[in-house]
Amino acid sequence: MAPRSIDRESDLKSEQSGPQTPGGEAPRYVRIQRILQDRIAQGRYAVGSLMPTEIELSEEFATSRFTIRSALRNLMQDGYVERRQGMGTRVLTANPTTGYYQSFESLQELFQIAVETYLVVLGSEDVVLDAEIAKRIGGDDGPVRAGERWILFESVRWTAPGGRPLSFIQSYVPERFRDHTSAFADHNGPFFDLLETRSQETIIEAQQEIRAMPMPQHVARAIGLREGALSLQLTRRYLTARGILIASVNWHPADKMIYRTRVRRRQSRD
């Protein structure tokens, strides 16, 4: 059996008193958890080594195995240690990555696609990709090659029927989804949503690129702006296990669009 850090000194005042005297502060398993955490931080329990066993710890802290297990369970959930039956409790790291995260219920939420808007499909055509468009659709190292045939939809999103134009959208769909595109004309929500449902392929990843650029002529004309007007361009790719489900390029008038992100530190539970 692998060597094990042995430690018998007691950091916890023994508190001769009855079973659950809280000592005025945190419960016992929390205090023990903190002590163990400190020992890991100070290197007393080296990263990669095995910690004392539950029995040893319960003897050291003069407590039950139950209480030690509660402390160790929290350490495990916080990413400090790994526990394996028959093997023991191994120290993984002294600085568990808390990090930051951003999470969403849906991709609509992520991409801040307003639901209360109206989509008008201008038309669609088959296109053969040139090198630039292929790169735009597939990303820098994507699987999309120049010369492939894709279906291009162009549409405009409005605040309301007869309201203000919000954005111009080009959507590129692989040929294998041709049968599913008939529903695009009547659809108001984002196409990726419709396509994910109808194709039965689950989106596992989404990518987005944001650029500032002047609006090309035919884009500007479609939403009633002059050529070269300032725009925020959002390129999005939706990937399934089988490849790209759909890619879109959105132009927003610069003065009407702000893209917002908010991330929080992952809670570290103590």
Partner DNA sequence: TCACCATATTGGTCTGGACAAATATTGATG
Partner DNA sequence: CATCAATATTTGTCCAGACCAATATGGTGA
Integer Rg of the chain from CA: 29
Out of a copy of itself, DNA, none, which partner does residue 231 contact, by CB within 5 to 8 A per kind? a copy of itself
Residue 203 interacts with a copy of itself (CB under 8 A)?
yes
Q: State the minimum distance, in angstroms, from the CB of residue 198 to a copy of itself.
A: 18
Parallel, antiparallel or unpaired: strands 230-240 and 203-214: antiparallel
Out of a copy of itself, DNA, none, which partner does residue 116 contact, by CB within 5 to 8 A per kind? none
Single residue of 97, 123, 147, 186 touching a copy of itself by CB under 8 A: 97
Single residue of 27, 165, 214, 216 touching a copy of itself by CB under 8 A: 214
Identify the helix (H) or strand (E) that includes residue 221: helix 217-222
CA atoms 193, 196, 199, 200: torsion sign = negative
CB 244 within 8 A of CB 177: no
Per the DSSP assignment, residues forming a β-bridge with 155 are 121, 169
Residue 205 interacts with a copy of itself (CB under 8 A)?
yes
CB 98 within 8 A of CB 265: yes
Q: Dmax over Cα atoms in the chain, in whole Å?
A: 83
In the complex, which residues of this chain contact DNA (CB under 7 A)?
Answer: 1-2, 4, 18-20, 22, 27-30, 51, 53-55, 63-67, 69-70, 72, 83-89
Q: CB nearer to DNA: give 72 or 244.
A: 72
Cα–Cα distance, 64 to 61 (Å, whole number): 9
Residue 87 interacts with a copy of itself (CB under 8 A)?
no
Tell me the residue length of the chain. 270
Single residue of 100, 123, 162, 182 touching a copy of itself by CB under 8 A: 100
Out of a copy of itself, DNA, none, which partner does residue 20 contact, by CB within 5 to 8 A per kind? DNA
Q: State the minimum distance, in angstroms, from the CB of residue 51 to DNA.
A: 7
The rounded Cα 194 to chain-centroid distance in angstroms is 21
Out of a copy of itself, DNA, none, which partner does residue 64 contact, by CB within 5 to 8 A per kind? DNA
Out of DNA, a copy of itself, none, which partner does residue 207 contact, by CB within 5 to 8 A per kind? a copy of itself
Which residues neighbour 71 within 8 Å (Cβ) at sequence distance 6 or greater?
Answer: 29, 30, 32, 33, 36
Minimal CA–CA distance to 198: which of 144, 245, 154?
245
Out of DNA, a copy of itself, none, which partner does residue 51 contact, by CB within 5 to 8 A per kind? DNA
3-class secondary structure, 155: strand
Q: State the minimum distance, in angstroms, from the CB of residue 5 to DNA.
A: 11
Number of other CB atoms surrounding residue 90 within 10 Å: 16
Q: State the minimum distance, in angstroms, from the CB of residue 10 to DNA.
A: 13
Convert residues 156-195 into a mask of x (bound to a copy of itself by CB under 8 A) and - (unbound): ----------------------------------------
Residue 17 interacts with a copy of itself (CB under 8 A)?
no
